[in-house]
Chains A and B, each alone.
Chain A
Amino acid sequence: MARVAQRAPWVSAIGWGAARFLPIGLLLAAWELLSHSGAVTPFMLPSIEAVVARIARDAGTGELAVNLGLTLYRSLLGFAIAAVAGIALGLFISRSAVVRWFFDPVISVGFPMPKIAFLPIVVLWLGFYDVSRITMVVSDAIFPVVTATIAGIQGVEREVLWSARNLGASERRLQWEIVLPAALPQILTGLQVALPIALIVDIVAEMIMGGYGIGGAMATASRFADSRGVFAGLVEIAIVGFCLVKAMMLVRRRLLLWHPEALDAANG
């Protein structure tokens, strides 16, 4: 790292900027070459231009905006609920022995449970509409948030708590001013894991239930052996997901300006 910093700053800035696109460029090149090589049919792997044309067409008809909007709405709302509920639950579990007694084994069983098997039941209870999908999202995305919150709070050093208590801090202030900030890096890690999971679960639920949304569009496309539609969906998810993951990283950086990791970010 030290060596890099010694070069002229603008040279390295341009270099790094270009390097960022290198792997994606290689991936696209490999895709394009393979799709034109004759080794695969357009059904097995459609060419990039065909997929892009498809996305452009869907954008033109407004279909893309509707599907994208619905998918984002469902997964982000589900994520938000999972985030708030997950952090709250993690806090309660860390603080109260009764809550911990109840939820500790439940989390151990619930996290690895293939919850998608319950989708038909959820649909029967909550109907064919958004509530069912959002419930599925919450039921999967909440777990990494809870475990990260617990692990984060566990990691808060006892000495810090003791000295704060000795200085006369109230329990309430302790939670808000010491425990939560100290656990924040790990909680944010949990959220960073939960966000892609929220998107994935929503899309999978859409694929199974059909209807609008990127997942629904992909399921329809795959049913009609429409590879362009399937790959268009994959590309859309990749772009949207990439932006969400990046946005989450920015949020993390902003919230952790005081933390050692921000030092590195500031340098580059």
Chain B
Amino acid sequence: MKAFVRYSPLLLIALAWEISSRLGLVSTLTLPALSDVVAAWFDLAKSGDLVANAATSLWRGSIGLLLSIFVGGALGIGMAWWRPLNVLLGPLVELFYPMPKSALIPVTVLWLGFGDGSKILLIFLGCMLPVTIGAFNGARGCDRMLVWSVRSMGASRVRALWDVVLPSAAPELLNGIRSALALTFVLLVSSELIQARSGLGYLIGFLGGGGVYDAMFAVVLTVALLGFLADRLYLVAMRRVLIWRE
């Protein structure tokens, strides 16, 4: 019951969607009624396409996301605390932030071809943006006096980093990871849209290209739903971490 009240806004939106398309407020030419989308979803699920393609996408997405959390997090904190790293890698990272990742395909194909590697790379690059910025800003925002006092008490650099910098960077870093988690789902679709043999983005691409909009939106909703579940799980985990910190 609690969960029902909590997530009822989604039901309201779903209802608004259904009613507006049934009443003809929105042209069903491009936005089919939700009930049709749901029916198409069951067909896709029954045929096994949805599960198989979702599994591939989630696999690519998780690897890309995990890489971005570890590399991006380390890079962000490192850049905030060790100037040579900031000077050497900062400009390079900043150069790649605003690039549409799908426009990089002519470049990545030279190096990784068109397989899973290039798709994971695009997800990784896209997810790095919020993680690195969050880690960098969080680590820089940490109280210097605290670090100096810990250091003067004889703590090593690593110790100070672990005990003082990391905890104070945590809120921004964790929110950055939340954004990265959401972006993973957006990016896995765009990385599979251009060219693929499998994955949810592949399904969206060819269903949209063929004008099978009810099935296409069924896949779009599946992506959103998976993202929603991941976000909820993450929020629960994040709350645990932050409570533990206090």
Whose C-beta in chain A lies nearest to the C-beta of B238? A151
Complex contact B106–A1 (CB within 8 A): no
Whose C-beta in chain A lies nearest to the C-beta of B226? A112
| Contact bitstring B1-26, A, C-beta under 8 A = 1, else 0 | 00001110110010000000000001
Within 8 A of B (CB), among A247-268: 252, 259-261, 263-264, 268
Contact of A238 among B13, B98, B216 (CB under 8 A): B98
Complex contact B9–A105 (CB within 8 A): yes
Query: Is there a chain B Cβ closer than 8 Å to A11's Cβ?
Result: no
Whose C-beta in chain B lies nearest to the C-beta of A222? B106
Whose C-beta in chain B lies nearest to the C-beta of A120? B30
Complex contact A237–B179 (CB within 8 A): no
- In the complex, the number of residue pairs spanning A and B with C-beta atoms less than 8 Å apart equals 210
Query: Is there a chain B Cβ closer than 8 Å to A193's Cβ?
Result: yes
Contact of A112 among B107, B134, B223 (CB under 8 A): B223
Residues of chain A at interface, number, CB under 8 A:
78
Complex contact A108–B232 (CB within 8 A): yes
- Shortest Cβ distance from B97 into chain A, in angstroms? 4
Say what secondary structure dominates the interface of chain B: helix
Given contacts A19-B84, A112-B186, A244-B98, contact A233 B103 (CB under 8 A): yes
Query: Is there a chain A Cβ closer than 8 Å to B184's Cβ?
Result: yes
Q: Which residues of A contact B9 (CB under 8 A)?
A: 101-106
Q: Which residues of B contact A200 (CB under 8 A)?
A: 98-101
Given contacts A24-B92, A44-B110, A120-B30, contact A264 B144 (CB under 8 A): yes
Query: Is there a chain B Cβ closer than 8 Å to A213's Cβ?
Result: no
Q: What CA separation (Å) do A260 and B185 show in the bound complex?
A: 35
Q: Which residues of A contact B156 (CB under 8 A)?
A: none
Query: Is there a chain A Cβ closer than 8 Å to B64's Cβ?
Result: no
Query: Is there a chain B Cβ closer than 8 Å to A138's Cβ?
Result: no
Given contacts A101-B6, A199-B98, contact A264 B225 (CB under 8 A): no
Whose C-beta in chain A lies nearest to the C-beta of B27? A124
Whose C-beta in chain A lies nearest to the C-beta of B151? A2
Given contacts A23-B91, A120-B30, A151-B171, contact A260 B98 (CB under 8 A): no
Q: Which interface residue of B88, B95, B98, B178 has the most chain A CB atoms within 10 A?
A: B98
Complex contact A113–B175 (CB within 8 A): no
Complex contact B89–A230 (CB within 8 A): no
Q: What CA separation (Å) do A108 and B238 show in the bound complex?
A: 14
Q: What CA separation (Å) do A156 and B32 show in the bound complex?
A: 44
Query: Is there a chain B Cβ closer than 8 Å to A207's Cβ?
Result: yes
- Shortest Cβ distance from A210 into chain B, in angstroms? 15
Query: Is there a chain A Cβ closer than 8 Å to B78's Cβ?
Result: no
Q: What CA separation (Å) do A242 and B93 show in the bound complex?
A: 9
- Shortest Cβ distance from B2 into chain A, in angstroms? 12
- Shortest Cβ distance from A36 into chain B, in angstroms? 14
Query: Is there a chain B Cβ closer than 8 Å to A196's Cβ?
Result: yes
Stretch at the interface among B42-50, B112-120, B135-143: B135-143
Query: Is there a chain B Cβ closer than 8 Å to A240's Cβ?
Result: yes
Query: Is there a chain B Cβ closer than 8 Å to A33's Cβ?
Result: no
| Contact bitstring B203-244, A, C-beta under 8 A = 1, else 0 | 010001000000011001001111110111001000000000
Q: Which residues of B contact A44 (CB under 8 A)?
A: 106, 110
Query: Is there a chain A Cβ closer than 8 Å to B189's Cβ?
Result: yes
Q: Which residues of A contact B232 (CB under 8 A)?
A: 108
List residues of B whose CB falls within 8 A of some A CB. Answer: 5-7, 9-10, 13, 26-27, 29-31, 80, 82-84, 87-92, 94-104, 106-107, 110, 129-130, 133-134, 137-138, 140-144, 171-172, 174-176, 178-179, 181-186, 189-190, 201, 204, 208, 216-217, 220, 223-228, 230-232, 235
